């Protein structure tokens, strides 16, 4: 492999810390610049990262994407700004890797994909948790036929809501927020890795409470309005015929539900939390549960390994796994599910994507 891909970060908020921890240990990428609306936060990120070399603090997105020492932009802005920043980077000739979701709506996602294709540039998108040993070991079990023909899956993300711990939780409950758009990318990306793209959805949703109360920080006790549905359930039909049942909720006080299970004609598989990189993969072949040995995926992974995979894919001339095409399909699944819930009928998912290559090089 040649020189590391030089990275400029846009957005120095809380999630940047997780990326910085991973970037320190990656040889395929090197942080060279950072910018944020809060100049002090950008300075703090630059200082934290300077043990690996000089990191410039840019005054704006425009300045950062114009830098000669930036090959790719790591877009860690709020979801509403994802497409705008991605398009600015692509327009300046830079590759992009961003936090989920790819964009706020289908039109923006299509614009990003079109701009990347026209410019011959790469766009990647989180989550990259699906590249860890948890989902990848489960995928290998499915691909190796250990459960027979997959017929069904379940995916559950239930919580009482982020306002319990987040000091400024309002954006989770405004347009573009809610449990599906917030946490759905982890679960749906895992389901596409395990079972392939989705062709049809049906669903229902509800909004049990009109207001929420902040539970921590200096604004604890303040209330704010809920503008989106906070409990969403759906059935997804995959292209190969398997049916996945999905529940995404900010209205469940406690549950003992599994994160993801995949059921086949000869066995069932228990998959760990797709919001993490690892965890046990258990199989039930009829005589009780047993844990499978780790057999695939990136070991000891952290947020940012998808960016490293993009850099390595560029060098090798292969597709990268945490792709914009997968992210756009996941976004389309979520938006179509919400449309189906509003309309009370099944709807086709008009987009598709290739099932990403497995991570088998252990």
Q: Are residues 76 and 189 in the same domain?
A: no
Per residue in 9-62, pLDDT tens? 999 988 999 999 999 889 999 999 999 999 999 999 998 887 667 899 999 999
Q: Are residues 173 and 282 in the same domain?
A: yes
Distance CA 57, CA 68 (A): 14
For residue 150, give its domain range: 130-297+328-348
Q: Are residues 224 and 332 in the same domain?
A: yes
What pLDDT, on a 0 to 100 scale, did the predictor assign at position 171? Answer: 87
Q: Are residues 113 and 136 in the same domain?
A: no
> What's the gap between Cα 244 and its chain centre?
18
**One-character DSSP codes across 167-211:** SS-GGGGSTT-SHHHHHHHHHHHHHHHHH--EEEEEEEEE---SE
Where does a domain end: 71, 104, 125?
A: 125
Contacts 24+ apart (CB under 8 A), 222-229: 224/169, 224/170, 224/173, 225/173, 226/173, 227/173, 227/174, 227/175, 228/173, 228/174, 228/175, 228/177, 228/178, 229/178, 229/205, 229/338, 229/341
Q: Are residues 66 and 171 in the same domain?
A: no
Where does a domain end: 91, 125, 159?
A: 125
**In Å, how far are 90, 170, 176, 206, 347 from 337, measured between CA atoms?**
30, 23, 14, 13, 8
Asked whether residue 361 is domain-assigned, the answer is no
> Which CATH number fits the domain that encloses residue 271?
3.30.360.10
What does the pLDDT average to over 172-190?
94
Which helix (H) or strand (E) element contains residue 73?
strand 72-75
What is the token pair recorded at 45? 């990120």
**Residue 331: CB partners within 8 Å, gap ≥ 6?**
101, 102, 103, 106, 109, 185
Distance CA 165, CA 79 (A): 20
CA angle, 250 as apex, 246 and 255 as ends, to 5°? 70
**Residue 132: CB partners within 8 Å, gap ≥ 6?**
276, 277, 278, 297, 298, 301, 305
Per residue in 288-341, pLDDT tens? 999 999 999 999 999 999 999 999 999 999 999 999 999 999 999 999 999 999
Per residue in 132-179, pLDDT tens? 999 999 999 999 999 999 999 999 999 999 999 999 899 899 988 899
Asked whether residue 212 is domain-assigned, the answer is yes
Q: Are residues 292 and 164 in the same domain?
A: yes
> Which CATH number fits the domain that encloses residue 60?
3.40.50.720
Write down the pTM of the prediction.
0.95
């Amino acid at each position: 492999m040649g020189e590391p891909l030089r990275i400029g970060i846009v957005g120095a908020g809380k999630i940047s810390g997780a990326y910085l921890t991973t970037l320190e240990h990656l040889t395929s990428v090197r942080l060279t610049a950072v910018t944020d609306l809060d100049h002090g936060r950008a300075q703090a990120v630059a200082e934290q990262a300077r043990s690996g070399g000089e990191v410039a603090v840019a005054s704006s997105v425009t300045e950062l994407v114009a830098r000669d020492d930036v090959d790719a932009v790591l877009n860690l802005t709020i979801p509403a700004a994802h497409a705008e920043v991605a398009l600015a980077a692509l327009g300046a000739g830079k590759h992009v890797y961003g936090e989920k979701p790819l964009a706020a709506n289908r039109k923006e996602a299509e614009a990003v994909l079109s701009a990347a294709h026209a410019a011959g540039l790469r766009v990647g998108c989180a989550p990259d948790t699906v590249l860890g040993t948890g989902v990848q070991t489960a995928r290998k079990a499915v691909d190796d036929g250990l459960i027979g023909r997959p017929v069904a899956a379940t995916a559950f993300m239930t919580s009482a809501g982020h306002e319990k711990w987040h000091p400024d939780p309002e954006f989770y409950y405004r347009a573009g927020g809610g449990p599906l758009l917030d946490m759905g990318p982890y679960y749906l990306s895992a389901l596409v890795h395990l079972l392939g793209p989705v062709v049809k959805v049906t669903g229902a949703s509800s909004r049990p409470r009109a207001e929420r109360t902040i539970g921590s920080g200096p604004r604890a006790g303040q209330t704010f309005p809920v503008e989106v549905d906070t409990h969403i359930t759906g059935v997804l039909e995959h292209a190969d015929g398997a049916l996945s049942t999905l529940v995404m909720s900010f209205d469940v006080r406690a549950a003992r539900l599994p994160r993801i299970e995949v059921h086949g004609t000869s066995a069932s598989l228990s998959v760990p939390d797709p919001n993490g990189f690892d965890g046990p993969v258990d199989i039930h072949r009829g005589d009780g549960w047993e844990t499978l040995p780790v057999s695939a995926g990136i070991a000891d992974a952290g947020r940012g390994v998808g960016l490293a995979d993009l850099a390595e894919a560029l060098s090798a001339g292969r597709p990268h796994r945490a792709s914009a095409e997968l992210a756009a399909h996941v976004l389309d699944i979520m938006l179509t599910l919400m449309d189906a819930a509003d309309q009370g009928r099944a709807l086709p998912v008009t987009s598709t994507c290739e099932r990403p290559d497995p991570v088998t090089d252990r």
